[in-house]
Amino acid sequence: MAAFRFLALLTVGFVLLMFVFLHLASQGRLEREAERVLVGPTFRVEEGGSGSWTIDLGAPRIEQAWPGAQRQPRLFLKGAAGTQVSARAEYLGEDDAVMLDALVGGEHVIGLAGEVPGELEFGPLWLSWEHPLRVTFAVIDAGAEPVEVTPVLRGEPSANYITARKIARGLWTIFTIIGILGFVGLVATQKKLFGAPVGGPRPTGDPS
């Protein structure tokens, strides 16, 4: 009986630790998704040339969709140092009909130097998960040699999301400590669980 009780207690502790591990793993996955970067196809640009990229921000695959915890996506073009490129982003309806312009800055936006060297920034886009997004780049001025460029969508987690993650991690840390302390206290106080005697024998008979 004592061995059975010990095994039951050990199982409870193991399940508690596995639950904590799985929860932390899911927390990490949510945080990685909140910082996802979508990279488009690489294409060569030369003066007068163009390229396009069609994206489904509400794609069924997690790694291809835009996470809801992230702020508005911002459009960049990598590898476009020394070139002048304009971008147009549109949400498409049925039969590829243009529904609305997606770039916040207007219909056509000329890229400006971004924080990353050799990268152009076109600003944020209005976010919609219901319609495919088509981004078209037009090269206004390029150097003597064609260059390869890659469109990128990036964003950052919202302040509300970051606060919620901090609260969740803090609460689960507290509950984990409480659970471990409770498990240790149960083992330390319930000596009878392992068959050890508790207290001395009671006196029998007439005390006089």
Q: Is 118 left (phi over 0), alpha (psi -120 to 50) or beta?
A: left
pLDDT at position 52: 87
User: Is 2.60.120.790 the CATH classification of the domain at 36-156?
Assistant: yes
The stretches in the chain having pLDDT less than 70 are: 1-6, 8-9, 47, 143-144, 189-208
Enumerate residues 6+ apart whose C-beta is below 8 A from 43: 51, 148, 149
Which three-class secondary structure state does DSSP give residue 97?
Answer: coil
Domain edges within the chain: 2-31+161-194, 36-156
Supply the pTM of this predicted model. Answer: 0.69
Q: What is the pLDDT of residues 81-111, one digit of tens each?
A: 778 888 999 999 888 788 888 888 877 888 8
pLDDT at position 50: 77
Phi, psi (degrees; rounded to nearest 5) at 38: -100, 125
Query: Distances from the Cα of 88 to the Cαs of 18, 96, 133, 134, 188, in angstroms?
Result: 49, 15, 10, 8, 68
